[in-house]
Amino acid sequence: MNILQIATLNRPIRKDIGYGPIETVIYNLDKGLHELGYRSIVACSGDSSVVGEQFTTLDKSFSEYWSNDTRLQRKNMKKHLTISLNRARKGDIDIIHIHDAIMMEYIFKGITGVPVPIVMTLHVPAQEKGPFQKWNKSLHSASAAYFVPISEYQRKQHHDLVNGQDVIHHGIDLIDYPFDKKSKKSNYLFSIGRITPDKGTEQAIEVARKSGSRLIIAGKVQNKEKDRQFYKKIKKSIDLTVDTQDSFHENDQNRYYEQVMKPILDSDDQIIYIGEVNAAQKKLWYHDALATLFPIQWGEPFGLVLIESMACGTPVLAFNQGSVPEILIDGKTGFIVDTVDEMAEAVKNIKIINPEDCRNHIQDNFSIRRMAEKYAELYQLILKERGLCQKISL
């Protein structure tokens, strides 16, 4: 079975990116499918580096995860999609897997035909599902488009979507996440994500103040007026700001700890903002943290932060929003609470959580192998139902 993933263009598809949740999922799925023995091809930008086969459509990604919707970006996205679909027409591709709602919208507007069935992962939250409602007017149950929710919470939000499939949770490669059951946690809380009201950065600071804990905040302030104003608001609550992104390379963990992490942790500052961190850096911060805070202010469809933290043996304190109850086991891999006061109180009990339980939970339920197996089963089911040689029509 040959799968062509049409990647997003916001960031390159590679192992070491900082913020790029959808791109991380694409990389992990490609690796998982490849390790299962399937032919995985990723149509992506030239600055990517995938495990399977790389099919380059554009030289570079957009580099900015969010930016203004420009004519040039639309042009490049259409070019990327057209080249990708032309690759699928060569006759060796069985399934196309797409991750971008705008690209799917282009397909439904009739820009170009589709030679094989399409699976689309529903990364978008419910409030952005307008295009899906439009598609339902023209879609029917025999359509060659299949939509995969990433949580039960999201599936319920998209309950009326034609050809909605069973939930497939995201998965990560535990080999890449440091874990030592004998290691001693440092006495700090960790918060990572976009610096925006939805992610609860302000509430994380409040939890740290109320519990008397040190808080390390990592994340990017995106080029949005709302986010810039929010950062300006919370900046007065931050005691120390350190730019750490360029001071560490993947194979130089000891130097990063000694020159960056240790001085920060030896300081007397309580609330510390370290900016955007890359993949290797965030794993070290996860690993050493007493707990990761996840006080989200909206119904997030899936939180990679949750499974990344638990993979390092670090429990999570999270608000009961979105998919959190599906991913976190209350009282075993962290605590699910409703208020800032409850989260601050839960900090006192965090040491009763066994790090091995956190790690094992991810191994059993959120590995890239498990994710890839479920997608492979879906691909095979679709091909069996439609017939390998059946002509496809949306």
pLDDT in tens, the chain (394 residues): 999 999 999 889 998 787 788 999 999 999 999 999 999 999 999 999 999 999 999 999 986 655 566 788 888 889 999 999 999 999 999 999 999 888 887 777 664 567 899 999 998 776 655 666 666 666 665 578 899 999 999 999 888 788 889 999 999 999 999 998 877 889 999 999 999 999 999 999 999 999 999 999 999 888 788 889 999 999 999 999 987 666 555 567 778 888 889 999 999 999 999 998 888 889 999 999 999 999 999 999 999 999 999 999 999 999 999 999 999 999 999 999 999 999 999 999 999 999 999 999 999 999 999 999 999 999 999 999 877 544 444 4
The 8-class DSSP code of residue 175 comes to G
Number of H helices, E strands in the chain: 15, 13
What per-residue confidence (pLDDT) applies to 57? 96
Domain ranges of the chain: 2-172+367-385, 174-365
What per-residue confidence (pLDDT) applies to 71? 81
Of the candidates 164, 122, 121, 159, the one whose C-alpha atom is nearest the C-alpha of residue 143 is: 164
Cβ–Cβ under 8 Å, residues 153 and 326: yes
Torsion, CA 197, CA 201, CA 205, CA 206, rounded to 10: 40
Can 2-172+367-385 and 174-365 be said to share one CATH topology?
yes
Query: Cα(232)–Cα(234) distance, rounded to whole angstroms?
Result: 6
What per-residue confidence (pLDDT) applies to 101? 82
Token pair of 32 as six digits: 């998982």
Token pair of 37 as six digits: 């023995």
Query: Cα(140)–Cα(243) distance, rounded to whole angstroms?
Result: 51
Cα–Cα distances (Å) from 43 to 80, 172, 325, in that order, read 8, 21, 34
Query: Cα(173)–Cα(114) distance, rounded to whole angstroms?
Result: 32
Alpha helices in the chain (DSSP H): 21-35, 71-88, 101-108, 130-136, 152-157, 201-211, 225-234, 253-256, 262-266, 279-288, 304-311, 324-327, 340-347, 355-365, 368-386
CATH class held by domain 2-172+367-385:
alpha beta
The CATH classification of domain 174-365, taken from the options 3.40.50.2300, 3.40.50.300, 3.40.50.2000, 3.30.1130.10: 3.40.50.2000
Contacts of 224 (CB under 8 A, 6+ apart): 66, 196
